[in-house]
């Protein structure tokens, strides 16, 4: 049976033409990124560039190349009013936008780029926000005040297969890039859900001394396994790539944790709200999971900076509920 194309799925979900044009353009951009990533070792592109981004992080060659590709492609879409990229300090204006354009695209063009040189799994994360204003010059506060009005969110994952996980407000659907057809085709029934229970957690254990008491207590109980009050054993995974760690949660449950830490520069964790935490929170919640930042739902955060970092706990609802209770009891 012919698998549904991304274009037909989007139409079936009732997304606006503006959102549809953006999603199809990003899908085309990421088809190109998949090829660039695949050829990177042969093209000498797995190393670091001489530049640093607004986060003060050394940019990889591929960070810059993939960013420039996505910006150039999205500037051709008339429904895009502005963009926020992890790699660019300021809001990017779209001079080609139509008069009534009111959509902002926030993206991390290549998440997990510390995994490039070891051929690890990396990805692209995106969020489409509907702005309250369609003024000529879109400000940071215009974008930030639209963060609760996500019209679409998703990620591409460049692994053995190139996959897309996406939601335009209702269900979450997974697509795979068909080499033959060079387009994304629907995998399974278009209704991905996250297991409510899990025995797997994803956290960088090397930061244990910096954790707050809620996280410390939760992980302590996981590590006690059957001897502790959880009365079951846990497994740990940490890919060092948010897209890889979150995708595993969609596939077989689990909880992903990047907490605030008592460590200079990590007081709000590491992950950025607009183009990492917020889109992943929409996907996770639309798949029946939970996504919190300390004791607040991530999607209710009122960020004050377009590159603001926020603590992230997301995944299987029963596990996130335990962490939420721990946060509420330690406040």
- The secondary structure of 226-238, three-state, reads HHCCCCCCCEECC
Least distance to ligand P6P, CB of residue 246, Å:
8
Distances (CA, A) of 139 to 54, 101, 197, 273: 17, 15, 41, 17
Q: Is residue 60 close enough to count as binding ligand P6P by CB under 6 A?
A: no
Question: Which range of residues in 11-19, 63-71, 179-187, 234-242 is near ligand P6P by CB under 6 A?
Answer: 234-242
Strand 255-258 and strand 200-202: the pairing is parallel
Tokens describing residue 203:
């956290």
Q: Is residue 309 close enough to count as binding ligand P6P by CB under 6 A?
A: no
CB-CB contact of 65 with 47 (8 Å): no
- In which residue are the tokens 């709200």 written? 273
Binder among 31, 140, 204, 330 for ligand P6P (CB under 6 A): 204
Beta carbon nearer to ligand P6P, 19 or 249: 249
Residues, the chain, total?
Answer: 331
Beta carbon nearer to ligand P6P, 151 or 270: 270
- Secondary structure (DSSP) of 62-109: HHHHHHHHHHHHHTT-TTEEEEEETT-SSPEE-TT--TT--EEEEEEE
Binders in 17-56 for ligand P6P, by CB under 6 A: none
Phi, psi (5° rounding) for residue 214? -65, -50
Beta carbon nearer to ligand P6P, 191 or 267: 267
Tokens describing residue 12:
């079936």
Name the DSSP letter for residue 274. Answer: I
From the CB of residue 329, how many other CB atoms can be counted at a distance below 10 Å? Answer: 11
Binders in 261-280 for ligand P6P, by CB under 6 A: 270
Question: Which range of residues in 14-22, 35-43, 48-56, 106-114 is near ligand P6P by CB under 6 A?
Answer: 106-114
Binder among 109, 112, 154, 311 for ligand P6P (CB under 6 A): 112
Name the DSSP letter for residue 257. Answer: E
Q: Is residue 242 close enough to count as binding ligand P6P by CB under 6 A?
A: yes
Q: Is residue 159 close enough to count as binding ligand P6P by CB under 6 A?
A: no
Least distance to ligand P6P, CB of residue 156, Å:
13
Least distance to ligand P6P, CB of residue 174, Å:
19
Beta carbon nearer to ligand P6P, 57 or 68: 57
Q: Is residue 254 close enough to count as binding ligand P6P by CB under 6 A?
A: no
The number of CA neighbours under 13 Å toward the Cβ of 5 is 10
Beta carbon nearer to ligand P6P, 3 or 207: 207
Binders in 113-132 for ligand P6P, by CB under 6 A: 114
Residues forming contacts to ligand P6P in the complex (CB under 6 A) are 111-112, 114, 204, 240-242, 245, 258, 270
């Amino acid at each position: 049976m012919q698998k549904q194309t991304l274009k037909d799925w989007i139409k079936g979900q009732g997304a606006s033409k503006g959102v549809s044009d953006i999603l199809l353009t990003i899908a085309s951009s990421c088809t190109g990124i998949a090829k660039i990533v695949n050829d990177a070792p042969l093209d000498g592109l797995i190393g670091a560039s001489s530049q640093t981004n607004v986060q003060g992080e050394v940019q990889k060659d591929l960070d810059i190349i993939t960013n420039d590709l996505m910006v150039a492609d999205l500037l051709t879409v008339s429904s895009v009013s502005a963009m926020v990229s992890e790699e660019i300090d300021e809001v990017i204006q779209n001079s080609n936008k139509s008069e009534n354009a009111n959509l902002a695209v926030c993206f991390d063009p290549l998440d997990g780029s510390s995994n490039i040189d070891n051929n690890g799994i990396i990805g692209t994360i995106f969020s489409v926000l509907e702005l309250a204003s369609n003024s000529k010059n879109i400000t940071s506060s215009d974008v930030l005040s639209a963060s609760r009005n996500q019209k679409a969110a998703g990620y591409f994952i460049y692994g053995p297969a190139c996959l897309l996980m996406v939601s335009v407000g209702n269900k979450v659907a997974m697509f795979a890039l068909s080499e033959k057809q060079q387009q994304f085709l629907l995998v399974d029934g278009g209704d991905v859900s996250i297991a409510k229970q899990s025995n797997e957690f994803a956290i960088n254990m090397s930061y244990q001394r910096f954790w707050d008491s809620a996280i410390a207590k939760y992980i302590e109980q996981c590590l006690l396994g059957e001897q502790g009050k959880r009365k079951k054993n846990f497994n740990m995974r940490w890919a060092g790539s948010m897209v890889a760690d979150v995708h595993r949660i969609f596939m077989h449950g689990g909880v992903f944790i990047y907490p605030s830490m008592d460590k200079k520069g990590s007081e709000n964790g590491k992950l950025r709200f607009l183009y990492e935490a917020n889109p992943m929170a929409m996907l996770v919640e639309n798949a029946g999971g939970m996504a919190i930042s300390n004791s607040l739902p991530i999607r209710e955060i009122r960020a004050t900076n377009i590159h603001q970092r926020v603590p992230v706990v997301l995944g299987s609802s029963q596990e996130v509920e335990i962490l939420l209770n721990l946060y509420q009891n330690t406040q």
